[in-house]
Each structure stands twice: as structure tokens, then as C-alpha cells.
Structure 1
Amino acid sequence: MYTTPEKFQAGHTELHHSHPNPFEPDLIKNRANLIQQWSDLIQYQSSLNQALREVQLCRARVEQCYVKIEQHCRGLDKYKQDLQRQVAQHQGSVKSLNDSQGQAQIDGWMP
């Protein structure tokens, strides 16, 4: 696992006290910037993890929607087939009726 900013800072503080450095003010400033950047990265990682969880929840909801859409489409296909069957039956009835009328005309029952 990574070193925490506090351990990072403590280790470098001990090092600087034992060996004075003319660049120490810049090093302290740079170290403080690095510690802040480390903290910012940890917060950013946490934000990204939260966003990932939200995306995963949305994906699950979208998948549920797709399942419902597929179910509705199957229902519509069945309804369409039922209507086509009823239309075919009615067309058969109309044809029979037309044939009966044609035969009645031939037999002289209808003008």
C-alpha cells in the first residue's frame, strides 16, 4: 500500500533535521506541495470510485429497461400475430360470403 502523507512528511522531517541543507526552504515547500497533491489524488480517487459505483447502478437500470422492452416487444409480436390471424379469418369469411353471393347470382336468387 502507499505511504500516507503524514508518514511521508515525518520521514523527510527527520532526514532534514539530521543533515541541514541550504535548499531546505524550497524542499519544505516542495514537500508540502507533494503532500497536498497526494491528498488531492486520494480525494480524486474516492470521487472516481463513487462515480464508478453510480455508473454501475445506471448500467443495471438500463439492463432492466432492456429486459422490459424485450418483454413488451414479445407481447406486441404476439398481439400482431393474433391480429393477422383474425384478419385472415375475416378475409376467409368475406371470401365465403362473396362466393355465396356469386353462386346465388348464378342460381338466380340475387340480381
Structure 2
Amino acid sequence: MHWQPIEHELQIYPRLGHEAALGALIDNLVDGARRAPGCLRCQLVARDSGQPWLLQGSWKNEEALLDYFATPSSQLLGEVLLCHCRSLSGGIVKALDQATGKVA
């Protein structure tokens, strides 16, 4: 089966005062993704205060993205990030909106 490139974008609204902690967790996620086979691009675009951060990625195909999400380190980091968000009073994320994958 032939797979086409896939892109994703995640909008993140960090809570004031928690940008550094959230940024460190996302940096780990981005670094791991960049090393994954099939990752063409992964980056965090931080905007001005009050604007969402954008976590953007581009993958060789859907299979490469799914393989990355299935890795133990990706799953563990996702769990740590979610746990950290929930553990803070009010959380470090105000809202998390995930766009659907766009086929390039």
C-alpha cells in the first residue's frame, strides 16, 4: 500500500507562569520526534503572549507517524506531560486543540 506524506498541527495555550515547564516537556517530545525514522520536520512555534503555540510536524507517511506514537518513549513522555498538566492547580494548559491530519 502506498502512503502519502502527512502533516499535523497542535495548538497549545500555556498558562501564564508555566511556559518554561511546558516548553521543556515539549522540547523533549520534539527532539524525540526529530530522531524518529520517517520524521521530515517537527517544531514548536511559540508566539507572542496570549497566542497559541503551534506544535507542527511532517512525516513521510501515516505509518511512520503511527510507529513513532507506538514507541515506549513517546508514550511515556505523553503520559508524563498529561500527568504534569493535571497535577498543577488549574493545569499548565488552558486548552488543547488538535487539528486533523492533512494529507500533503
Task: Calculate the TM-score normalised by the size of structure 1.
Answer: 0.26
Computing the radius of gyration from Cα coordinates, the structure with the larger value is 1
- Bigger RCO of structures 1 and 2 (CA < 8 A, at least 6 apart): 2
More helix by share: 1
Task: Calculate the TM-score normalised by the size of structure 2.
Answer: 0.27
